[in-house]
């Protein structure tokens, strides 16, 4: 395994290997509970807590866990922390707990968490494991809060329950319904792809001088691109909001 600096361990998960936007892990909660910023934040923090707790414990026990039953052991550890999160949230914020419903319990099967245990925490000392968990958890929170901002802004015209778009705004109800989750993430990925493609083209252009880099298929799908561009603006605003 390649050696990495502590700083890299922390920062990697936040953007370059963002669990939701790049690795496409943990999609169920990212789509299910992001219909408002408050729910997204609660879900993100709960997931972050479970990830940090289990990473530390797995890392501490890494010499004790037999190789053959490691996955079951990780799942047991994760399930324990999820139970703690579930009960704490039910006691501290019963209203949020009710809205999130079964999805808090479903953190157990979030593949992002199990993935970090298997790929990182089980092989590294505690400090590094915690940094990695914080980075990955932070990336997760940023991604789902960004989605929450877009969906709540367009779907109810408010942020954190405070109306911001004025009384004349006609809410796009579809954004807070299930299809809105799929569409928001789809367009978010489209915007990221477009950004990556543009950067690639620019690098190519500087390397080989002026080249015609226009995509032939781009013309054929003018409508789709129009959509993507419109949404890219919304998403950029969402990312700003998340920061």
Partner 1 sequence: MSDLLWILLSAMVINNFTLALFLGLCPFMGVSGRVSTALRMGLANIFVLVITSICAWFLNTYVLPSAPYLRIICFIVVIASLVQIVEMAIKKLSPLLFQQLGIYLPLITTNCAILGLAIFQTNRGYGFVEGLAFALGAGLGLTLALVLMASIREDAELAPVPRVARGMALVLIIAGSLSLAFMGFAGLGSPT
187 near partner 1, rule: CB under 8 A:
yes
State which residue, 11 or 192, has the beta carbon closest to partner 1. 192
Residue 163 has phi, psi (to 5 degrees) of -65, 130
Kindly state whether residue 100 participates in binding partner 1, applying the rule CB under 8 A. Answer: no
Exactly one of 79, 93, 126, 176 binds partner 1 (CB under 8 A); that residue is: 79
Residue 160 touching partner 1 (CB under 8 A) = no
* Residue 69 binds to partner 1 (criterion: CB under 8 A): no
Give, as one character, the DSSP assignment of residue 194.
Answer: H
Q: How far is the C-alpha of 13 from the C-alpha of 119, rounded, in Å?
A: 13
Contact 76, 111 (CB under 8 A): no
211's tokens: 């080249």
Q: Which of 11, 62, 70, 80 binds partner 1 (CB under 8 A)?
A: 80
105 binds partner 1 (CB under 8 A): yes
Token pair for residue 139? 């990336």
State the DSSP string of 118-156.
HHTGGGS-HHHHHHHHHHHHHHHHHHHHHHHHHHHHHHH
Q: Left, alpha or beta for 184 (phi > 0: left; psi -120 to 50: alpha)?
A: alpha
Residue of the chain from 182, 204, 226, 233 that contacts partner 1 (CB under 8 A): 182
Taking the complex as a whole, the smallest distance from the CB of residue 106 to partner 1 amounts, in Å, to: 5
Q: According to the binding rule CB under 8 A, does residue 90 interact with partner 1?
A: no
Binding of partner 1 at residue 119 (CB under 8 A)? no
Query: CA–CA separation, 40 vs 18, rounded Å?
Result: 16
Q: Which of 143, 148, 176, 150 is nearest to 165 (CA)?
A: 150
Q: Which residues bind partner 1 (CB under 8 A)?
A: 24, 27-28, 31-32, 72, 75-76, 79-80, 82-83, 86-87, 101-102, 105-106, 108-111, 114, 174, 177-183, 185-187, 189-190, 193-194, 197, 215, 217-218, 220-221, 224-225, 228
């Amino acid at each position: 395994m390649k050696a990495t600096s502590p700083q890299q361990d922390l920062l990697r998960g936040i953007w370059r290997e963002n669990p939701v936007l790049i690795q496409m892990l943990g999609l169920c909660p990212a789509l299910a509970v992001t219909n408002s910023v408050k729910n997204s934040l609660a879900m993100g923090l709960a997931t972050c807590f479970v990830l940090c707790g289990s990473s530390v414990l797995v890392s501490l026990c890494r010499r004790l866990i037999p190789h053959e039953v490691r996955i079951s052991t990780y799942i047991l550890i994760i399930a324990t922390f999820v139970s703690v999160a579930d009960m704490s949230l039910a006691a501290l914020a019963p209203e949020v707990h009710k809205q999130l419903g079964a999805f808090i319990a479903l953190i157990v099967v979030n593949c992002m968490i199990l993935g970090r245990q298997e790929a990182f925490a089980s092989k590294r000392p505690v400090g590094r494991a915690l940094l990695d968990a914080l980075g990955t958890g932070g990336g997760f929170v940023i991604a789902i809060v960004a989605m929450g901002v877009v969906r709540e802004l367009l779907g109810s015209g408010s942020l954190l329950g405070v109306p911001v778009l004025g009384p004349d705004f006609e809410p796009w109800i579809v954004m807070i319904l299930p299809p809105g989750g799929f569409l928001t993430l789809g367009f978010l990925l489209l915007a990221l792809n477009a950004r990556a493609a543009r950067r690639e083209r620019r690098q190519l252009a500087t390397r080989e001088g002026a080249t015609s880099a226009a995509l032939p298929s781009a013309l054929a799908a003018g409508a789709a691109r129009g959509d993507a561009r419109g949404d890219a603006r919304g998403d950029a605003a969402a990312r700003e909001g998340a920061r």
